Amino acid sequence: MNILLKSVKIIDKSSAYHHQVKDVLIKNGIITNISDKISKPNNCKEITLNNLHISNGWFDTSVSFGEPGFEERENIEHGLEVAAKSGFTAVAVNPNTNPVIDHKSAVEFLMNKAISNAVDLYPIGNLTQHAEGKELAEFFDMQNSGAIAFGDYNKAINNANLLKIALLYAQNFDGLVMSFPQEKTTSTLGFVNESLNSTKLGLNSIPALAEELQIVRDLFLLEYTNGKLHIPTISTAKSVKLIKEAKKKGLKVSCSVTAHHLVLTDDELKGFDTNYKVLPPLRSLKDNKALIKGVKDGTVDMVTSDHNPIDIENKKVELENALYGTIGLESIFGSIQPVLGLDIAIDSLTEKPRAIFGLSKLKIAKGEIANLTLFDPEMEYTFTKENILSNSNNSAFLGKNLKGKVYGIYSNKKLVLR
């Protein structure tokens, strides 16, 4: 399909047209012209949308789609549609499925589900067999099949020696190892942040200490092995500090933060609302601020929604019995843009995560592949159930005021609009 995007503001700092308003012509998936005024050629669809901005297509590095095993929460086909309509042209899907993604054929199953989709799906393989944290999975084999990184989602690798071996072994084929930051023995029964709030509510907690202990351990292992490590979804101020120091030392470490950890705190738990039960747990305002600063100064490499649809049967229960997770694809842009600013928000969803996870570099320029997100960064609205596209409604952002709305994507020669 040939597309003419009329008067769009281009947000791509690597492009010569950064922050300029242009017409953009896409023919057969390639950007063929960017000019002030382009008249509509034959066989071309013209798109005019209010305050239309485009950036390189967004990439979310932590998304769960339920399939296989939890199709009542979400499935891949619909999940990818949610991603597309939320502005994402690529997603890395977590191996928190049943069965887990710990071998080549499971990776291939996921890849096959996304063939010829507008959104590129990149599986994350389990680092350990059956996600049990005991034996390494065949992650070279999985990488050859299309997996882009290896970790057991939000299950920490308790065995330090196993992580050490993984960090060494991955160097033979430039694999990306992920280690979830939670030291288990200091947080065995916990499920919310340790704070005045957890004290008032009498809830068992996961202290910031649990995360920081694990990160310290992992950074020591990283230094020892000279490997490459990604720490997903950090949540505390001290974690930012530890990673900043490690990067300064030259360690090959990257990390992400979720949108909810940038803007929500554990104050939300006062009504025992299970939509705020996430892992890592929501922390304090001080942590929010440090994480935002971390994204701005480059310590935190990327923002993820950690999109995790959970069915009502596992959310409309007592807080302790509820499963962790919030959906987030639909709300991520509108929630992070007000605190990060437009350029940094886009950066945290495009260039840096793509580089770290080994995806091709994108650029908005003539002759480049069109892999674009279409949005209006100014639109303000209150996020309600009507804004949810997912099959599950467990959003921590219900009732929150957001700024920035997504129109859709153009990717893989397909235009998907909301």
Burial of 183 (0-12, 13-18, 19+ CB in 10 A): buried
Q: Does residue 385 belong to the site contacting another protein (CB under 8 A)?
A: no
* Smallest separation, CB 27 to another protein (Å): 55
Q: List all residues 6 or more positions away from 377 whose beta carbon is below 8 Å from its beta carbon.
A: 51, 53, 337, 342, 403, 404
Residue the block writes with tokens 């190892």: 177
The whole-angstrom separation of Cα 164 and Cα 298 is 26
- Which member of 202, 248, 250, 386 binds another protein (CB under 8 A)? 202
Q: Is the dihedral of CA 189, 193, 195, 198 positive or negative?
A: negative
Residue 20 or 321: which CB sits closer to another protein? 321
Burial of 223 (0-12, 13-18, 19+ CB in 10 A): middle
Which entry of 287, 301, 306, 347 is annotated as an active-site residue? Answer: 306
Residue the block writes with tokens 């935190």: 300
Residue 274 or 304: which CB sits closer to another protein? 274
* Smallest separation, CB 293 to another protein (Å): 24
Residue 376 is a catalytic residue: no
* Smallest separation, CB 63 to another protein (Å): 28
* Smallest separation, CB 211 to another protein (Å): 15
- In order, the DSSP letters of 158-187 are --HHHHHHHHHHGGGTT--EE-----STTS
Residue 130 or 316: which CB sits closer to another protein? 316
Binding mask 256-295 for another protein (x = CB under 8 A): ---------------xx-----------------------
How many CB atoms lie under 10 A from the CB of residue 317? 12
Residue 200 or 249: which CB sits closer to another protein? 200
Cα of first residue to Cα of last residue in the chain, in angstroms, is 18
Q: Which of residues 298-327 bind another protein (CB under 8 A)?
A: 313, 316-321
* Smallest separation, CB 282 to another protein (Å): 15
Q: Which residues bind another protein (CB under 8 A)?
A: 188-189, 194-196, 198-204, 207, 271-272, 313, 316-321
